[in-house]
């Protein structure tokens, strides 16, 4: 996304109409134009904050600020770039405030020992529904398409960039995801171009330390799970519902890791993961009957899990598991609380007739 001269316009004359709406104080026209970028801005705020819930709040704040600051839009940059500047600074303000102060947690394993894990250390991390990602970029591609590419929205990337100081995070996102030049990024953040280049260098170095080793081998530009990943997810669902521990174990890499960000927990290796699952699925301590529904978040295969306790009238949501696959097996499972099921179009509970009917 580059800078345009005053009076030029994007597709359909968006910038020219926006400038006219600002000049005339036409709130309805301004809101209609700003609404075109709502979904893209929400994804941007999500990257900055790591939380889907907070991103919802900040995109609202961005559009409110845009209307209040409408006279500052003079057409020297695109309307989209102007909104990105407002959104980025709204997120930086939020991250600097006490209401959203975030501290990286010390992740622990099942014995309570400290364990390094980027996702588990980011206790506020939440998934993002693919259906909403699809609304963030036009079908014909364009610069917005990079905003929803798998390598920049998957959980490993989201967790890793949360380890960056906020301003470094903003520089990395604006340069490497949004694709802004260094000079334009500097203008957005009130930094020198040299400071932007230095911040980007440091951010990239930290990112390499936090991302999984084989991350460079993952499919670039993908917009969703592959056919083989979807097939593996179906086997995972079937084995979970059948409480088939051997079948589940066969789907896991030996070095699989399951992380639970809300509880900053890590289960490292197939033995540890299977031991945890066995307690929930087998024997006197088994939770009950399981029902699993495939879902799509962060361009990764995922499943929403429900359990029906003995004598309970319905299946109740317990968590959302997001899978990362390497070489045809599950390399990582990130487990979230079921808070975001409504955003996925799923209920908090399911009647037995709807499961077995």
pLDDT tens digits along 153-201: 999 999 999 999 999 999 999 999 988 999 999 999 999 999 999 999 9
DSSP string, 116-177: --HHHH-TT----BHHHHGGGS-TT-SGGGGGG-GGGTSHHHHHHHTTS-HHHHHHHIIIII
Residue 210's pLDDT is what?
A: 87
240-279 CB burial, b ≥16 within 10 A, e <16: beebeeeebbebbbeebbbbbbbebbbbbbbebbbeebbe
The DSSP 8-state label assigned to residue 264 in this structure reads: T
């506020």: which residue's tokens?
124
What is the predicted pLDDT for the residue at 139?
55
Segments of the chain with pLDDT less than 50? 1-12, 217-219
Alpha-carbon distance of 87 to 180, in angstroms, equals 15
Listed by start position, the domains of the chain span 11-217, 227-356
- Distance CA(290)–CA(344), nearest Å, equals 19
The bridge status of strand 315-326 relative to strand 289-297 is unpaired
Predicted pLDDT at 23: 64
Q: Does domain 227-356 have CATH number 2.40.40.20?
A: no
């Amino acid at each position: 996304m580059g800078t345009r001269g005053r009076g030029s316009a994007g597709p359909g004359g968006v910038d020219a109409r926006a400038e006219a709406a600002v000049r005339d104080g036409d709130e309805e026209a301004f809101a209609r134009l700003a609404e075109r970028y709502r979904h893209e801005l929400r994804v941007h705020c999500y990257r900055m904050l790591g939380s889907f819930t907070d991103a919802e709040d900040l995109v609202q704040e961005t559009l409110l600020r845009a209307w209040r600051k409408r006279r500052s839009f003079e057409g020297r940059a695109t309307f989209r770039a102007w909104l990105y500047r407002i959104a980025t600074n709204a997120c930086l303000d939020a991250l600097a405030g006490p209401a959203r102060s975030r501290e990286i947690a010390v992740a622990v394993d099942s014995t309570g020992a400290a364990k390094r894990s980027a996702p588990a250390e980011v206790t506020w991390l939440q998934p993002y529904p693919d259906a909403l990602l699809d609304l963030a970029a036009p079908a014909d591609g364009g610069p917005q398409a990079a905003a929803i590419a798998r390598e920049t929205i998957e959980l490993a990337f989201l967790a890793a960039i949360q380890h960056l100081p906020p301003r470094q995070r903003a520089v990395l996102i604006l340069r490497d995801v949004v694709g802004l030049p260094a000079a334009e990024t500097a203008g957005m953040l009130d930094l020198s171009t040299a400071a932007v280049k230095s911040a980007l260098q440091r951010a990239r170095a930290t990112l390499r330390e936090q991302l999984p080793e084989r991350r460079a081998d993952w499919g670039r530009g993908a917009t969703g799970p592959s056919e083989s990943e979807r097939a593996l997810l179906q086997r995972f669902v079937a084995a979970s519902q059948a409480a088939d521990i051997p079948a589940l174990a066969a789907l896991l890499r030996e070095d699989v890791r399951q992380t639970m960000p809300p509880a900053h927990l890590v289960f490292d290796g197939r033995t540890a993961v299977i031991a945890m699952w066995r307690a929930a699925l087998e024997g006197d301590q088994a939770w009950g009957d399981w029902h699993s529904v495939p879902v799509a978040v962060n361009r990764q295969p995922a499943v929403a899990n429900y359990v029906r306790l003995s004598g309970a009238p319905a299946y109740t949501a317990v968590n959302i598991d997001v899978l990362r696959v390497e070489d045809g097996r599950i390399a990582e499972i990130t487990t979230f609380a079921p808070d975001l099921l409504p955003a996925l179009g799923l209920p908090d509970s399911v009647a037995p007739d709807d499961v077995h009917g």
